[in-house]
Amino acid sequence: MPGERSTVRCPAEVGRFPGAAPPTRVELTIERQEKRQGEEGGCRRWFRKMCPCCCKRQTTTSYDVTDKVAVDKPPPCEPCTGPEHTKPKPGENGEHKEMEELKLSVLSVDLLSSKTGQNRQEHHTDLYHGDEMIIRRGQNFHLELELNRPYCCDSDKLHLDLRIGSLPTVAKGTHVIIPLVDELQEKRWKAKMVEQTGNKIKLSVNSPATAVIGLYGLNVTTQSSKGEKTTYNSSKHIVMLFNPWCAVDTVFLDNEEERKEYVLNDTGRLYYGTEKQIGSRTWNYGQFHDGILEACLFVLDKSDMPPSGRGDPVNVVRVLSAMINTQDDSGVLVGNWSGEYSDAVSPSAWSSSVEILRKYHSTDGTSVRYGQCWVFSAVTTSVLRCLGIPTRSVTNFQSAHDTDTSLTTDIYLDEEMEPIDYLNGDSVWNFHVWNDCWMARPDLPPGHGGWQAVDSTPQETSQGTFRCGPASVNAIRSGQVFLKHDTPFVFAEVNSDKIYWQRNPDNTFSQVHSEKKAVGHCISTKAVGSEERADITHLYKHQEGTEEERIAVETASRYGSKPEAYSMAMAEDVLMEVKMDGEGPRMGADAKLSILVKNQSSEPRRTTLHSQVAVMYYTGVLKGTIKKERIEVELLPNEEKTIDWLLPYLQYQNELVDQAALMLTVSGRVTETQQVLANQTSFRLRTPDLNIEPLGEAVVGKEMAAKITFTNPLPRTLIGVVFRVEGLGLQKGHEVIVGDVGGLSTVTLTEHFIPSQPGPRKLVASLDCKQLTQVHGVADIVVLDQ
The residues annotated as belonging to the active site are 373, 432, 455
In this structure, the number of other CB atoms found within 10 A of the CB of residue 280 comes to 18
Strand pairing partners for 723?
736, 767
* Whole-number Å distance between alpha carbons of 642 and 632: 13
Local structure of residue 460 (DSSP, 8 states) = S
In this structure, the number of other CB atoms found within 10 A of the CB of residue 466 comes to 22
Q: Which residues, 6+ apart, have CB-to-CB distance to 508 below 8 Å?
A: none
Strand pairing partners for 578?
595
Helix residue ranges, H only, 411-546: 473-478, 487-495, 537-540
User: Residue 705: which of 657, 753, 740, 660 has the closest Cα?
Assistant: 753
User: Using an 8 Å Cβ cutoff, are 438 and 452 in contact?
Assistant: yes
Judging by DSSP bridges, how do beta strands 533-535 and 450-454 pair with one another?
unpaired
Q: How far apart are the first and last CA of the chain?
A: 44
* Whole-number Å distance between alpha carbons of 320 and 147: 42
User: Using an 8 Å Cβ cutoff, are 368 and 353 in contact?
Assistant: no
C-alpha distances out from residue 557 to 15, 376, 481, 482, 499, Å: 62, 29, 9, 11, 13
Judging by DSSP bridges, how do beta strands 691-695 and 704-711 pair with one another?
antiparallel
Beta strands in 198-339, from DSSP E residues, in sequence order: 200-206, 214-223, 229-241, 267-274, 277-284, 333-335
Sign of torsion over alpha carbons 75, 78, 82, 86:
positive
User: Residue 316: which of 384, 217, 390, 386 has the closest Cα?
Assistant: 384
* Whole-number Å distance between alpha carbons of 111 and 238: 8
Dmax (CA) of the chain: 126
Q: Which residues, 6+ apart, have CB-to-CB distance to 282 below 8 Å?
A: 267, 268, 269, 270, 351, 762, 764, 776, 778
Phi-psi region of 573 (alpha: psi -120 to 50; beta: other; left: phi over 0): alpha
User: Using an 8 Å Cβ cutoff, are 335 and 370 in contact?
Assistant: yes
User: Residue 205: which of 293, 285, 91, 109 has the closest Cα?
Assistant: 109
The SS3 assignment for 55 reads: coil
